[in-house]
Amino acid sequence: MECPPDLTPNTSELIRRVLDEPDLAPAIRSLPSLVLAKLIGHVGLEDAGPIIALASREQLQRVFDEDLWHNAKPGLPEVFDAGRFGLWLEVMLELGEDFTLRALESMESNFLVMAFSRLIWVLENEYLANHIREDEEDEGLFLEKILEANLGNEFERYWALAREESVWNAVLEILTSLDAKNSPLFESLMKRCAALTWEEVEEQGGLGEVLTQSEKLGNDVADDRDIRREREGFVAPLEAAGFLALAKKVNPDEALRTSPDDPVLSTYIRRVLRDFPSETPGPGVPLMPLLALMKESGVFPEEAKIRMLTKPTAPNRQKVFQVRLKRSLTDLFGRNQVLHGQRMHELAYLANVVVSGTTLRGKAMRPAEAAQVALIACGMGLGHLSAKGKGMKHPLETNDCLQLFRAGWALLHQPLGVLDEDKLIDMMG
């Protein structure tokens, strides 16, 4: 497979080396989905066809989870980007009809229906003909004009109308191929999309209203995505924001006495530790050469840190809370490695809560910064516990990291109930 000729030198060289060097191409299939998504984002989706062709179907599903859902800022719901999915269809078609059909056939049926229902309205021909014939004359003429004005195509049993006109050509090509080469999938897809269109007809008060208004997300698909992402350690933005909102209001002493009723954490630990093993490279697949090439090509750039205060107020105390917590973790490891592992998973959960549920100076935090914030908050909770003279011989045996974090997070919001960002950034050093 040839590398597209019109790429920037670094990107072009990256793709060319992946394709030409025998050890690199097989490693693509062993990349964790997050790393593969970052590679595709670096190359640019429009130019990433040669990389996508090397990926497994399972990887692509997880890359979709990262690439097709976006929110305005941490803590807000993530929304499916139908236009971006349409662009993916165009890129896959460039890899060939067979590749595209195989990819579609491997997708979860709920996801496939939801995604296509965001790109097209589907109407059964019999229903449409009856609707136009039985409606009042003016309404029937109105519908006919809408059908003429919208990009669309008539199949044997269905009308498909474009909702995202910019990718209609790709959608039509795929539907035509499915109709010819996989009629069961085509029929299932069109039938379910038609049912969704009919639901909108009833909700909007008429077919004419539906054909001039936008659509809603499928909650089931979003839930399935959340479950898949949890195996990589993510916490949904709304759940993370809710946890932090409650934590900042708790009395620090109360936080240290009680454990939060957090079913999200319970589900997270169950899925991450037991139900879903982490992605691991296949046997005999060396990843380091590919990762080194990606780093050399700028796939993992050094991101600008959040600007720190110009005059730290307490330089000698910036790390004191983190140091105290790390010492306690080291002590716990020597005494109880199982409990130490539990505390480390709690810290990972808290870091994911921070990165998913809040911002610092109006910007999303990098994972390393979020981990640092989690350590600081837990360390402040540990410091508050020390000041009370309680549980300090082996504090992580008597208190879990959620208790410490909630106490520290509340302290960071005192006295006004608002995060003291200057204080936090000063402590981050």
- Give the model confidence (pLDDT) of 70-129 as tens digits: 887 777 778 889 999 999 999 999 999 999 999 999 998 999 999 999 999 898 887 766
Same domain, 156 and 242: no
Q: Lowest-confidence range among 44-58, 161-175, 227-241, 360-374?
A: 227-241
68 domain-assigned: no
Same domain, 355 and 243: yes
* Amino acid, res. 316: N
Same domain, 269 and 195: no
390 domain-assigned: yes
Number of domains, the chain: 2
pLDDT of 267 above 50: yes
Of 268 and 348, the structure prediction assigns the larger pLDDT to 348
- pTM, to two decimals: 0.64
Same domain, 313 and 370: yes
**Containing structural domain, residue 366:** 233-277+305-428
pLDDT of 130 above 60: yes
Same domain, 343 and 416: yes
Same domain, 156 and 111: yes
Of 223 and 298, the structure prediction assigns the larger pLDDT to 298
402 domain-assigned: yes
Percentage above 70 pLDDT, the chain: 72
Same domain, 205 and 341: no
What lies within 8 Å, CB to CB, of 274 at 6+ separation is none
Residue 203 is predicted with a pLDDT of 67
Same domain, 238 and 350: yes
Same domain, 257 and 345: yes
Same domain, 259 and 314: yes
Residue 240 pLDDT grade (very low, low, confident, very high; cuts 50, 70, 90): confident
389 domain-assigned: yes
Residue 305 pLDDT grade (very low, low, confident, very high; cuts 50, 70, 90): very low
